[in-house]
Amino acid sequence: MTGRVKKKLNQKKIDPERLRLLKRRLAQAIPEPKCELDHKNGWQLLIATILSAQSTDKKVNEVAPELFRLHPTPASLAEAPPGEIEALVKSTGFFRNKTKSIQGASRRIVEDHGGEVPHTLDELVKLPGVARKTANVVLGSAYRITTGIVVDTHAGRVARRLELTEQTDPKKVEAELCEIFPPKQWIDSGHRLVLHGRYVCLARAPRCAECPLNEACPSREEDASLPPGKRAAAEKALVESRGTNNALVASSSPQK
C-alpha cells in the first residue's frame, strides 16, 4: 500500500460507546503523545528509526548522539568508512545491515533529494532500510504529515487486545485502525497505542488493574484498582518519565 491506506477491511462491528470510551481514556492518559526517539530533524529521526529495528528506543538514544556528533549531515554519514559506522551502531544489533541502510539512505537523500528528507511516503519507502512504518514515523513525528498509523509490536498487541482488529500483519492492522480513527487523529493515535503497549499493556504481564482502559477492554485479566482519573494520571506520569516514574506501582498499593 502507498499513500493513504485502503479502507473497508474491518468487517467486525465495534460498539460505538466502547470505542468512544477507549479514545477518551487514551487521550486523557496520553494527552501529548510523542515519538520517544530523540531527534532534532527529519533526517536524524529517519536514521534513528532505522536503527531501532530489533532494538529499543532507549538503546538508540544512547547511540545516536555520538553518531550525529561525528556525522551531522546526510553527506557526512554517507561518505564515512563503513567500519566506523558499524562500531558506532553495533550495540543496536544487526549493525552491518543497519550500517548499509543508514549510509544508503543518506546517500540517496544527498544524490536524489538535494540533502533533504523527502516529504512523501512513496519517496521515503524507496530509500534503503525504509518500510511503511518507518516512513509513517518520520512523516508524522517530524513533519506532522498524515499518511497512516504507526503500527509496531506494541501497537499491534494493544489493538488486538482491545479487539479493534484480529489481524496480525502490521499493514492490515494499520488499515483497520485507519477505519476506526479519523485521519486527523492518525498520528497521535498511533503514538498512544505504542506508548500504552510499552508502559501499561505489557506483553507478558499487562497492568490491567492500573490501566485507564480497563472497563472498555474485553481482554482485561483483572478489574481496576482505582478510579479512572487516577489511573490516567499514573499512566501520564509513567509515559512522561519514560518509565522512570513508578506512579502506576504506587497508585496500586493499598491506601493508608
190-236 confidence digits (pLDDT tens) = 999 999 999 999 999 999 999 999 999 999 999 998 999 999 999 99
CA-to-CA separations, 81 to 88, 112, 134, 230, in angstroms, rounded: 11, 21, 25, 52
| 233, burial (CB in 10 Å: exposed 0-12, middle 13-18, buried 19+) | middle
133 is catalytic: yes
Would you state the pLDDT for residue 13? 82
Cell of 243: 518509565
pLDDT tens-digit map of 157-176: 999 999 999 999 999 999 99
Tracing cell 492500573 back to the chain, one arrives at 210
Residues whose CB is less than 8 angstroms from the CB of residue 184 and which lie 6 or more positions away in sequence, other chains included: 146
Cα separation of 181 and 14, whole Å?
12
Catalytic residue among 98, 133, 172, 236: 133
- Give residue 188's identity as a one-letter amino acid code: D
* pLDDT (mean) for 132-152: 97
In this structure, what DSSP letter does residue 253 have? S
CB 124 within 8 A of CB 135: yes
Can you state the angle between helices 170-180 and 186-199, rounded to 10 degrees? 120
Q: Which of 38, 152, 171, 230 is catalytic?
A: 152
Q: What value does the mean pLDDT take over residues 117-138?
A: 97
Long-range residue pairs from 210-216, CB within 8 A, at least 24 positions apart, any chain: 210/234, 210/235, 210/248, 210/251, 210/252, 211/235, 212/25, 212/26, 212/28, 212/29, 213/22, 213/25, 213/26, 213/29, 213/162, 215/21, 216/18, 216/21, 216/22, 216/25, 216/162
Amino acid 6: pLDDT = 44
Q: How many CA atoms lie within 13 A of 145 on its CB side?
A: 18
Task: Please give the Cα distance from 69 to 62 (Å, whole number).
Answer: 12
Residue 9 has pLDDT above 60, yes or no: no
Domain covering 42-116, topology:
Endonuclease III; domain 1 (1.10.340)
List the grid coordinates of 201.
499493556
Does 126 qualify as catalytic in the annotation?
A: no
- Is residue 1 over pLDDT 50? no
Q: What is the pLDDT of residue 93?
A: 97
- Region 180-195: mean pLDDT is 98
DSSP state of 125: T
Residue 104 has pLDDT above 70, yes or no: yes
pLDDT score of 23 more than 80? yes
